[in-house]
Structure formats: C-alpha cells, structure tokens
C-alpha cells in the first residue's frame, strides 16, 4: 500500500468508540498508577485532561460491516469527533459531529474505480455493537484493523 493511500485512510478522527471500551477496561490500572503519586481520595478519579491524553494515544481501528450497519457500508472507523465510513464502491465519508450540528466530507476517486477493499493489520482490540432492539444488528467480538486497503484504483 502506498504512503498516500495509508495517509488517506488515516485521515479519520483520532480515537474510536472502541477506545472508550478499552479505556474503561484499563481505567482501574490507570487510577492505581495515578494514586501512587497523589495522596488525596479524589485521585482515583481521572481528570478530563488525563482521559483526553490517554484517548489520544489509543489505537482505534476499522471495523468491517457484519450486518450491524446499512448494507452500503463496508468498513467504519468510529472516532472521538465523528465516524469515517468506507462504502462498497470505495467512497470515504467523514462524518463530524459537534453538539446538534454535523458535517460530512465525501472523498471519491475521479475517473477511478476501487476494485478490492481489504482490511490490513488486525489490532488486538475487539468491539461489539448493540444497535437497537434487532438482535440481527447486535454483533460481538468483531476484529479491528489498523488499515483498510482500497487496492489498485
């Protein structure tokens, strides 16, 4: 994969929703390490700044659509500020949300066709989705990937 393709695929928000799950699982460890240097009882609660720093360092990954989203979507990278979606035809949709406002930036290949979209470099993070009350949309233990290759365009 070229550096340009990887750069395009990394233009997503820094941290995914899966990172929040990862952080929650490790919060007690982080709290213990912080309490060793601080003596007050409130030190077991992480500050907003500490959480932001830890979230910025976490690897969030691309998640393949296994039926939890609209059938036009192939991969998604949920992030701290929004979500990036890759459609089956290779279009990238960056959806940023702030409060009640949202923005969508669409990237498409000009005079090019994406032929093979494949995940690359599986991450140790697994994620689960519980979308609504429909059990068919509830997927657990899905793998995450560092990159998604759009192949030759």
Q: Can you give the residue range of the structural domain that contains 114?
A: 3-149
pLDDT per position as a tens digit, 122-145? 998 888 888 788 888 889 999 999
CA distance 14 to 29: 22
pLDDT per position as a tens digit, 63-112? 999 999 899 999 999 877 789 999 999 999 999 988 899 999 999 988 88
pLDDT per position as a tens digit, 7-27? 333 333 323 333 333 333 433
Q: Which long-range contacts (CB under 8 A, 24 or more apart) does 42-48 make?
A: none
The total of other beta-carbon atoms located within 10 Å of residue 63's CB is: 27
pLDDT of residue 134: 86
Q: How many domains does the chain have?
A: 1
pLDDT of residue 43: 56
Q: State mean pLDDT over 115-124.
A: 93
CA distance 22 to 55: 9
């Amino acid at each position: 994969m070229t550096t340009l393709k990887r750069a395009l695929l990394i233009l997503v928000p820094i941290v995914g929703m899966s990172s929040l799950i990862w952080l929650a699982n490790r919060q007690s460890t982080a709290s213990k390490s912080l309490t060793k240097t601080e003596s007050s009882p409130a030190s077991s609660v992480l500050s907003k700044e500490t959480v932001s720093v830890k979230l910025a360092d976490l690897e969030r990954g691309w998640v393949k659509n296994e039926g939890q989203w609209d059938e036009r979507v192939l991969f998604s990278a949920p992030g701290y500020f929004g979500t990036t979606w890759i459609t089956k035809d290779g279009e990238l949709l960056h959806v940023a949300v702030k409060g009640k406002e949202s923005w969508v930036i669409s990237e498409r290949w000009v005079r090019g066709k994406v032929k093979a979209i494949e995940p690359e470099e599986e991450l140790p993070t697994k994620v689960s989705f519980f979308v609504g009350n429909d059990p068919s949309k509830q997927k657990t233990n899905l793998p995450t990937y560092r990159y998604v290759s759009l192949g030759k365009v």
